[in-house]
Amino acid sequence: MSTDEKKNGSGGFDSDWSIDWSQSDEMDLNLDDIDDPQDLERQFWAPYAESHPEDTRAIPTVGRIQPKQSNPTGAPHRQPAPRDYPEDDYDDGLTERELRRAQRERRKESKRKRRRLPAPLKALIYIVFVIGGSVLLATVGWVAANDVLALNKAETTAYIEISDTSTLTEVSQELKSENIIEYPWLFRLYCVLTDSLDELNAGAYEVNTDMDYHALCSALSTSSTAKASVDVTIPEGYTVDQIFVLLVEKGVCESTEELEEIAATHDYAFDFLEDVPLGDYHRLEGYLFPDTYTFYIGHDPLYVINKMLVNFDSQFTSDMEEQAADLGYSVYEILTVASIIEKETNGTDMRNIAAVIYNRLSSTETLGKLQMDSTIQYVLERTGVGRKDELESTDFEIDSPYNTCLYAGLPEGPICNPSLSSIQAALSPNDVDYLYYFHDNSGDAHFYADYDTFLSEMELYLSDDYVPEEDDTNYEAFEDE
């Protein structure tokens, strides 16, 4: 393209350029080297504008110079709309890629502007959003308030068990599963913010849907009186092992092992236990007083055992201790005698049985051996064999300090936990000289001082053909005095 063509506006350059071409020689501008209007702006206008700030004739066109569009149809030429380039698009340091990126950003911005909603519509959407959000928040708040305040809930009662390792999350989930609360996260948040739940205490608690969050926290705290409880009757004559199994079955304790551990190792502060060594849980045999107790579900084994020991301490009075001393026996030995009475009696012959025990201990005829079947049964229980309906000859030969057929004197300790009646019988035996007795098929006891009479009468009473007569004087004579 010639310089004249460029000045005349032909050859593709816009004839409307606002350039004073008469000054091209003065500006040292070589128009033969310019084929693109953008090159013209870079080479001419940028340096020219810097050196001639007073010349504002072409400033509005800077950055807007466009090549003339071809018009093969001959239609009137229309000037294309100027494009709004960024101020630094044509800096000498920009690359072609950077220019294209800037143009893409302008197109995106243009699209965003075209997508803008009218102001009234935006205002309407905002109002709808505010009203809808308020309604939603009010609904959620009301539902949450119902849960916190225990409103509009179906009547439900449940027992919540808490172990030593339970967490607040686990407890809240259990409350949810039992339909006591609806939102575990809200319950946890309430507990944290209000500090209502001081500490989780192991145990079982009775809760219901009438309790609001505050009442639930109070019920599950260490000072709670809402723990679930159960009444447990310890039968007279139960052994320590039987008592521990019963406590676990009733849900008072989790396992017999934890009860055994406490019984064997904890040094309870009672005078009657001062001389009883630690190490074996059977050391408490005889001291777990049979009675009806109210225990918490999941109660601490230490306090469960302590409760029974406290009861024994209140039942075995100082007068009883004096009676034991007058007989020449310790409290532990009196309990041993009472435990044998408990296992041998039918309930009507306790004082006579007590007399037989003391008489045999001091008799040369019996060599001080009690020879009581109940002690052999206890040996079988302790060795894991279990009680038998009928003892075998080999059972009497078991080497055990509780085998009163092998060893003279009292067994090593009590063979069960006796009732108060058996303890009183042990302290007040009848003044008789009986050394022998047996129970007939009806369970009645017959007592004798003479061994031969004992054998003959036992054979008679225990025979299948024996029918006691109404005027049988011997039968009446064997009743407990």
**For residue 316, how many other CB atoms are within 10 A of its CB?**
20
d(CA 361, CA 345): 18
Give residue 408's pLDDT.
96
Secondary-structure breakdown of the chain: helix, strand, coil percentages, each rounded to the nearest 5 = 45, 5, 45
Q: What is the pLDDT of residues 222-246, one digit of tens each?
A: 655 567 789 999 999 999 999 999 9
pLDDT above 80 (res 190): yes
User: What phi and psi, each to the nearest 5 degrees, are found at residue 162?
Assistant: -120, 125
Greatest pairwise CA separation for the chain in angstroms: 164
Confidence of residue 416 (pLDDT cuts 50, 70, 90): very high
Give residue 187's pLDDT.
87
Measure CA of the first residue to CA of the last residue in the chain; give whole Å: 149
Integer-rounded Cα Rg, in Å, for the chain is 53
Q: What is the pLDDT of residues 370-379, one digit of tens each?
A: 999 999 999 9
- Average confidence (pLDDT) over 284-304: 93
Of 194-208, 269-283, 394-408, the one with minimum mean pLDDT is: 194-208
| The two three-digit tokens of residue 321, written as one number | 């201790």
d(CA 186, CA 386): 54
Comparing CA positions, the residue from 334, 381, 380 lying closest to residue 361 is 334
Task: Cite the beta strand spans of 403-467 per DSSP E.
Answer: 436-439, 445-448
Question: Above pLDDT 90, what percent of the chain?
Answer: 43
Most confident of 32-46, 290-304, 396-410: 396-410
Residue 471 or residue 199, greater confidence: 199
d(CA 55, CA 87): 19
3-state secondary structure of 153: coil
Give residue 456's pLDDT.
93
- Average confidence (pLDDT) over 162-187: 87
* pTM exceeding the 0.85 threshold for the entire prediction: no
- Average confidence (pLDDT) over 154-163: 81
Q: Report DSSP state, residue 42.
A: I
Of 16-20, 122-126, 131-135, the one with minimum mean pLDDT is: 16-20
Q: For residues 82 and 17, is the Cβ–Cβ distance under 8 A?
A: no
Q: Report DSSP state, residue 273.
A: G
pLDDT above 70 (res 177): yes
Of 67-76, 117-126, 251-260, 302-311, the one with minimum mean pLDDT is: 67-76
User: Across the strands, what pairs with 293?
Assistant: 232
Question: Above pLDDT 70, what percent of the chain?
Answer: 68
For the chain, what is the mean pLDDT?
A: 79
Distances (CA, A) of 211 to 145, 154, 466: 13, 12, 68
